[in-house]
Structure 1
Amino acid sequence: MGLVKSNFSPELLAIRLNQLGERSSRQILAVMREEADNIVELAKENAPHKDGDLEDAIHAVEDRGGINNRTQITVQVDPAAIDIHGKPVSEYAVIMHEALAPYGTGGYKLDEGSIAKDGGSGKVGGKYMERAMRSRVGEMGKKVKQIVKDSV
C-alpha cells in the first residue's frame, strides 16, 4: 500500500515511530543487561585470584543517569567493597588492572592463586575489565543492529 494523502496522518506516524522506539528500547535494554552479565562473568574469569575479594566485587550497576534520564549499565568493581584486611578492593583492582602481567605493564606477576585459577588458559592477567568488554562489544553491536533493522 503506497503513501496516499488520504490515509497518511502525521499523528499516526508519530505514534508508530514512538511505539517502535519504545519496543526497540526495551529490546536494546535487554541486550545491554544480558551483555553486562556476560562482561561481569568474563571480567571475573580474567581477574587475578588472591582471596576472591576482587572477583566478588565485580558486578553490574543499573541506574537512570543516562542522557534524558535513560537507563545506563556500568560494569565495575564495587567502590564500597572492603577486603579481608580492611582495605578497599578498588585500590587493589586498579593496580592489578593496570600493572599485572600479562596484558598490563608487567609491574606485577601472577601469584600462585592466579596461576592456579588460570590453569594455563592465558586468561588471567591485567586489563581484565577492558578485555572482557572488548570481547563482547562486537556481539553486542550485532544484536543491537538486528533489533534496529527488525524494527524499521
Structure 2
Amino acid sequence: MTVRRSSGAASPRLQDTVRLSAHGLAKVLGDLEARILRAVWTIGTPATAREVHEHIVQAHDVSPITTITVLNRLVVKRVLWRSKQQGLIHFSARLTESEFMVQVSRRVVEGILSFGPDAVASSFVDVVAEQDPEKLEELAQLIQRRLQARNGG
C-alpha cells in the first residue's frame, strides 16, 4: 500500500465563497462533504466507501450512492486520494486535519484582508478578546516572533 503525503501536493480546490452561518469545515465545504471528510480522518486509514458510509449513516441518513458521489467529488476537489487495494477502491485524506485547517484558514484570511488590513486586524483582535481573552497573549507572542524573524533575529 502506498500512502501519499501532502508534500508537493496541489492545494485543495475549494469554493471561493465562505458560508458565514455554517460551522467548521462546512464553511468551505458542503455539509455532507464536511461530514465525510471528518469520517475519513476519524477512520484514519484508507477506507472503502462502505466503511465511510457506515460511519456517516450513524448520525446522518444518507444513501450509499450519495456517499460514493460525495467521496468522488472530494477526490476531484483534491481533498481525498482514491486508490485500489485488494480489488476495492479506498479513500484517504490528502492532508491531515491540521494541515487542511491551515490551508483553508490562510485562504479565508487572504479573502478577508481584501476589506483592508487595518479594519480586519482591529476586528480580529476585538473578537479574540471577546471570545478568549487569554489568547490575546498568545497572539502577541506570535506577532513578536514573526517580527523578530523578519528582522533577522
**TM score, norm. by length of structure 1:** 0.26
**TM score, norm. by length of structure 2:** 0.26
**CA radius of gyration, larger in:** 1
